[in-house]
Amino acid sequence: MPHPSGHRKAIRFVQLAERLQLPILTLIDTPGAYADIRSEAEGQGGAIGQLICAMLEVSVPRIAVILGEGGAAVPLATADRVVMTDASWYSAISPEGAAQLLWKDMGKKEEAVAALKLAPSDLLEAGIVDIVIPASPKNTDFVSLLRSMVLRCFRELTD
C-alpha cells in the first residue's frame, strides 16, 4: 500500500526507464494506496495522477502483471499490455472501499465484488486486461509460463 512518496519514487523510476530506453514491467499485488489522513495531506491523489501521467508519457514498452490483489492499481497497470492470473482481481477501488461508498457498510464486500465484476473473465471480456494466465497450485510451471508470456508481450511491442 504505497504512500505518496512511493508513487513519487515510481515516477522517478518510470522517467529513468524512459531516459535509458528500458522497458517497464510492473508486478502488482496490492489492496491499494494508503488512504489515511497523512497520505491525503501529503498529496496522495496528486501523486497517483502524476504516476498515471508519467506512465502514459513514456515511449518504452510497458507491461503490467496483476499477481494477486489489484486494488486501486491503475497507476501501475497503465500499460501497453495488462496480464493477470486467474486467481487475481483488479479494480479502481477495493471491494471494501466500494462497499463503504455504495452501502456505507464494509461488510457488503461480496455485493461489491459482484457489482464491480472483478473476475478475470469479466475483465478480459470488457477489454480491461489483455491476457489471463492460470496460477493454480497445480501449475508448477507458473514462473516459466509468466516469463514466456512477458517476453512474448515485449517482443510484440518492440517488433
Dump pLDDT digits (tens) for 64-116: 999 998 887 899 999 999 999 999 989 888 788 888 889 989 889 889 888 98
- Does residue 39 have a pLDDT over 80? yes
Q: Are 112 and 95 in contact (CB under 8 A)?
A: yes
Rounded to whole angstroms, how far apart are CA atoms 125 and 144?
25
Amino acid letter for position 127: G
Going by CATH, does the domain composed of 4-158 fall within 3.40.50.300? no
Determine the distance from the C-alpha atom of residue 111 to the mean position of all C-alpha atoms in its chain, rounded to a whole number: 22
pLDDT at 137: 61
Rounded to whole angstroms, how far apart are CA atoms 95 and 92?
10
Q: Does pTM top 0.85 for this prediction?
A: yes
Q: Are 10 and 50 in contact (CB under 8 A)?
A: no
pLDDT at 132: 95
pLDDT at 101: 87
Rounded to whole angstroms, how far apart are CA atoms 118 and 115?
8
The pLDDT mean for the chain works out to: 91
pLDDT at 139: 61
For the chain, the domains span 4-158
Distances (CA, A) of 13 to 44, 58, 76, 98, 131: 18, 11, 12, 30, 25
